[in-house]
Amino acid sequence: MNLKHLTDKTLISETKKLVEQERKFTTTILHHLKEIERRKLFSEYGYSSMVHYAVKEFHYSESSAVRRIQAARMLADLPELEEKINDGSLTLSGISQAAGFFQREDIKEPEQKKEILEQIEGLTARDTERKLFELGKEPVLPPEFSRPVSATYTQVKMNVCDETLRLMENARQILGEYKFCDSYMEKLSKEALENINRKKYKLTDKGRETETTGRTPTNSQQRELYERGEGVCEKCGSLFKVQKDHRHPYALGGKTETSNLRLLCFHCNQRARIRAKL
């Protein structure tokens, strides 16, 4: 596109109009993202999360997807934000920063969120960060991240409290490792995962059978579910909040029989509920 023929005044004027249109398109997209997530439609297409779906299907970068999804969720709680986004007083970046702040400070009340959002209106990303630091009660910790450092290794940076560090140190000594390293974390993670699965799927209760009581599977049914699916969601392969689910819903007469049971992650289970109109 060649715009050399435009006068300075026309170029500025048309750009302003386009920016206004862009903001309105942005809020329209946020409403669509919000409804897709409400219906858990990303699960229908085999994705374990809304972010993964937005990255793969809409070709957003991960950070762009996160900003939009956080803003869409905020818009669901505070509909009045739409006007602020449309007039440019609040940006997706600012809303995303505020969303992280609300989570860190455990702020849930809509009125309190509105008061804080009003204080970051019109601020740059850096000034927004400074303002949120001022308003915060919890200590501000360095950012956590993971990034690939080779074809097979990823660097992970995280913040842990003293008690967690003490437990990690005790586990390191018990496992016979001399330092915090990949082999230590692999052993620790395997032990933790095996212990979680043993408890969740009754893998140590082979001699203690239980009777089916309503929708709850017996111990042997839970063990069979785990062995059949290795503890992952049958639909998308996710491990996120995997739950036991009735293929034909229990509320609609489905029986608690092994053939009618499956493992679904939280999101796929919610999507199944929506499809069944429960």
Query: In this structure, what are the phi and psi dihedrals at residue 156, rounded to the nearest 5 degrees?
Result: -120, 130
- Residue 110's pLDDT is what? 92
Other beta carbons within 10 Å of 61: 10
Alpha-carbon distance of 258 to 108, in angstroms, equals: 40
243-246 and 154-157 as β-strands: parallel, antiparallel, unpaired?
unpaired
Q: What angle do CA 52, 58, 62 make, to 5 degrees?
A: 45
Alpha-carbon distance of 93 to 72, in angstroms, equals: 12
- Residue 262's pLDDT is what? 93
Residue 85's alpha-carbon distances to 16, 91, 122, in angstroms, are: 15, 6, 11
- Residue 266's pLDDT is what? 92
Alpha-carbon distance of 97 to 219, in angstroms, equals: 45
Handedness of CA 102, 106, 108, 111 (dihedral sign): negative
Q: pTM for this structure?
A: 0.75
How long a stretch of residues is the chain? 278
Helices 92-104 and 62-77 sit at what angle, rounded to 10 degrees? 70
Alpha-carbon distance of 256 to 273, in angstroms, equals: 17
Looking up tokens 């992280």 gives 100
- Residue 211's pLDDT is what? 57
Within the chain, which residues score under 50 in pLDDT? none
Residue 166's alpha-carbon distances to 27, 145, 173, 180, 195, in angstroms, are: 47, 22, 11, 12, 20
- Residue 176's pLDDT is what? 80
Q: What is the DSSP letter of 216?
A: B
